[in-house]
Amino acid sequence: MKNIRKNSTIASFILSSLLGGAQAQELAPDDAAIAGNLGAWFRDAANTFDGETGIWADSSGNDNHAEPVGEVNVGGPITFIGPTLGMISGGAFSGEDVAAVHFANDFDDLLIAADLNGDAGLTDLTIFVVYNANFLAANPNLTRAVGFGSISATQANAGNHFNLAGDPSIRKDNGQLGSGTYSEIFPGETTIIRTARMSTTAVDEWFNTEGTMEKVLNLTGVSYTTSSDDFFLGDLRCGATSTPGFPATARADFDIIQTIVYTTALTDEQIAGVNEWLGNNIGSAAPGGGLAITGIEFDATAGSATVTWTSKPGRTYSVDVSSDLEIWEELEDGIDSEGEMTSYTEMELGSTTPRFYRVREL
C-alpha cells in the first residue's frame, strides 16, 4: 500500500457496517430542527478567531462572541489574555491537521461568552466540544475546557455551574457529578468529540474518539438549575497565576476545535446526528460548505461499498482506503464531480476487517 501524504482537502469516514454497526443520520448544528435553541457556535477557527484581539466570533447568529476576560483584581490584579491560533491533529476524524484555538499551560488565557444564557439559570442544556487536551502537570479535575461558571481568580458565585472536567466529571463548583462512575477514562492527548447533556431528569455524557459515540455517563434522577453565570472557554479553574484555593501547578495545554452550546436537552438521535456532522466536518467553515462524506452503502450480496460525499461542480476527487488510519491506499483518482453530490463504488471487498475511507479534492 502507498502511504499518501498530499496537501489536499480530505474527508474521512469509518465503514462500520462491515462490523455490523450503523451510522447516525447527519444533522448540521444549525439545522432548522434544533437551531431555535442554538446558543453559541465557535467553529472554523482559521476564519472566525482573531489572533490579534483574541476574540472567537460566534457563528450561531446570536452574537455571543467569546472574548478575553481581561483584568480581574483579587488581592492583586490578574489579567486573563486571549489564546492563540494553532493546528492540531484531526485524529480519527481527519487525515490532516485542523485549525484550533490553543490554550497554553504557561499563560492565563481565558475567553468569556457573556450572557449566553440570558442571565438566567438553565435546567436543560447540551454542550459539544471538539478538543485535544494534555494535562501536563495539571490536576485533571481542575482542567475544565468549557462550561458555565465563574472566573477562577474571583471564585465568585460558586454554585450550580456546569464545567466539563478532565478527571472526568462534571464540576458544579459546590460539588461534582459523575466522578468515579464514568465507564471510560478521559482520553487525553487525542482529538475527541465530547457531548454533555442535562435535562430535568438526568445528566448524560458521551465520548467520541473514533467516529462512534460511546455513552460514558448516565445519572438518572439528577436535576438542578445552573447559576446565571457566564460561559467560558479555557482553563476555567486553572491558571499560571495561583488563584484562591487552586495551585499554580494546576495547568493544562489544550486545543479547542469547535464548541456548540444549546439551551435545551437535545434528544439522543439529535446528539448522534450532530456528532456525525462534527466527525465529517471537524474543521469545516460552514454546513454543507466543506468536503464531507455523507454516507456509505454496503451491499453484502455484491461485496461492495458505495461512498458518497459533498462535492462541487467542475472539481476532481480521489478516494483512499485504510485499515488502520496510518497507511492509505489510493483506490481511484480522477473522479469527476457529479454536481453537489458524488459517489464511488469499491467492488470485491473480500474482507470483514474495518475499512476507513477518505476523499481528497485534487
pLDDT in tens, 33-74: 999 999 999 998 988 899 999 999 999 989 999 999 998 876
Give the architecture-level CATH label for domain 27-280: Sandwich (2.60)
Compute the Cα dihedral for 262, 176, 66, 83 and give only its sign.
Answer: negative
How many residues appear in the chain?
362
The reported pLDDT for the residue numbered 5 is 33
Closest CA to 361 of 95, 169, 29, 78: 95
| CB-CB contact of 194 with 146 (8 Å) | no
Q: How far is CA 131 from the centre of its chain?
A: 5
Q: What is the pLDDT of residues 139-180, one digit of tens each?
A: 788 788 999 887 765 655 566 789 899 999 998 777 789 999
Which regions of the chain carry the CATH code 2.60.120.200? 27-280
3-state SS assignment for residue 91: helix
| CB-CB contact of 319 with 277 (8 Å) | no
Separation CA 193–CA 207 (nearest Å) = 6
Cα end-to-end distance, the chain, whole Å: 20
CA distance to 91, 131, 133, 210, 326, per residue, from 187 (Å)? 12, 11, 8, 11, 19
Long-range contacts of 314-317 (CB under 8 A, 24+ apart): 315/361, 315/362, 316/361, 316/362, 317/342, 317/344, 317/359, 317/360, 317/361, 317/362
Question: In the predicted model, what is the mean pLDDT of residues 343-360?
Answer: 80
In this structure, what DSSP letter does residue 269 have? H
Q: What is the pLDDT of residues 105-135, one digit of tens each?
A: 888 889 999 888 877 888 999 999 999 998 8
In this structure, what DSSP letter does residue 17 have? G
* CATH domain 293-361 topology: Immunoglobulin-like (2.60.40)
Which of 22-31, 95-104, 188-197, 328-337 has the largest mean confidence?
A: 188-197
Number of H helices, E strands in the chain: 2, 26
Q: Which residues contact 180 (CB under 8 A, 6 or more apart)?
A: none
Which regions of the chain carry the CATH code 2.60.40? 293-361
Separation CA 179–CA 139 (nearest Å) = 14
Cβ atoms within 10 Å, residue 59: 23
The model's confidence at residue 15, banded by pLDDT at 50, 70 and 90, is very low
Separation CA 113–CA 126 (nearest Å) = 16
Q: Is the pLDDT assigned to residue 274 strictly greater than 80?
A: yes
In this structure, what DSSP letter does residue 327 have? S
Q: What is the pLDDT of residues 277-324, one digit of tens each?
A: 999 888 754 333 456 777 788 888 888 889 998 787 788 899 988 887
Long-range contacts of 312-318 (CB under 8 A, 24+ apart): 312/337, 312/340, 312/361, 313/337, 313/339, 313/340, 315/361, 315/362, 316/361, 316/362, 317/342, 317/344, 317/359, 317/360, 317/361, 317/362, 318/8, 318/359, 318/360, 318/362
The CA radius of gyration of the chain, in Å to the nearest whole number, is 21
Q: Which residue has the cell 444533522?
A: 27
Q: Indicate the pTM of the whole model.
A: 0.74
| CB-CB contact of 258 with 42 (8 Å) | yes
Q: What single string gives the DSSP state of each residue in 61-74?
A: SS---BEE-EEEES
